[in-house]
């Protein structure tokens, strides 16, 4: 296999962005954990769950962009491969959230291109800062994502076993990614960086629920 040039990587990044942003373009590698489970919801319950799943879908779009940006600028080949592997696992989450949104007669957030662009830039900057910071960025991101997932699990109607199964598996994967990043040498990010990440996350959560 020939070594990728800068143009090759640019084209690959554009392809990854399209696959992350175009509904139906990403296929899951694992079976949907919600298979064979039930979820009888009222109209208001379905509308609320759709809002939650739209937020989670946007979160996965951000995760894809983050890993793609970091993989492009990572200095060590081992770190680049780790980012690419994590992005592949996050593709499952993206596909599962899209499946659930379709079941709820809803659609992903129209703001996803904005979230992807911001997250890609942040991931690339983290990679440029150094692999330890890049891995620390992953660990902090996955920590915050897990907190969101646990909050959403607590808000789900008790009978919505389909959404519950998806979010529980997503949370398991996110915590695994966090632990892997820390084990690989990730360091704690400065407090101002963590506060900015939290602010952006809250903005994404509040807007993607409705849009």
Asked whether residue 60 is marked as a ligand-binding residue, the answer is yes
Asked whether residue 142 is marked as a ligand-binding residue, the answer is yes
DSSP state, 35? T
Helical axes 161-183 vs 77-103, angle rounded to 10°: 170
Give the DSSP H or E segment for 177. helix 161-183
Give the DSSP H or E segment for 118. helix 112-129
Backbone angles phi, psi at 187, to 5 degrees: -115, 160
Asked whether residue 90 is marked as a ligand-binding residue, the answer is yes
Neighbouring C-alpha atoms within 13 Å toward the C-beta of 64 = 29
Q: What are the binding residues for Fe cation? A: 60, 90, 93, 142, 174, 177
Q: What are the binding residues? A: 60, 90, 93, 142, 174, 177
């Amino acid at each position: 296999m020939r070594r990728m040039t800068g143009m090759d990587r640019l084209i690959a990044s554009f392809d990854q962005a399209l696959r992350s942003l175009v509904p139906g373009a990403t296929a899951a590698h694992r079976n949907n954990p919600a298979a064979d489970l039930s979820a009888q919801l009222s109209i208001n319950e379905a509308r609320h769950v759709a809002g939650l799943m739209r937020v989670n879908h946007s979160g996965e779009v951000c995760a894809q962009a983050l890993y793609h940006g970091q993989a492009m600028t990572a200095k060590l080949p081992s770190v680049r491969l780790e980012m690419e592997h994590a992005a592949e696992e996050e593709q499952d989450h993206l596909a599962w959230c899209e499946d659930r949104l379709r079941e709820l007669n809803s659609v992903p957030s129209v703001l996803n291109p904005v979230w992807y662009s911001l997250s890609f830039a942040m991931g690339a900057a983290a990679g440029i800062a150094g692999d330890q910071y890049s891995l620390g960025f992953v660990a902090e991101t996955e920590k915050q994502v897990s907190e969101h997932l646990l909050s959403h699990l607590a808000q789900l109607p008790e009978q919505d076993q389909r959404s519950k199964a998806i979010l529980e598996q997503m949370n398991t994967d996110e915590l695994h990614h966090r632990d892997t990043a820390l084990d690989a040498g990730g360091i704690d990010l400065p407090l101002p960086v963590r506060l900015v990440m939290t602010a952006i996350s809250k903005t994404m959560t509040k807007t993607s629920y409705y849009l």
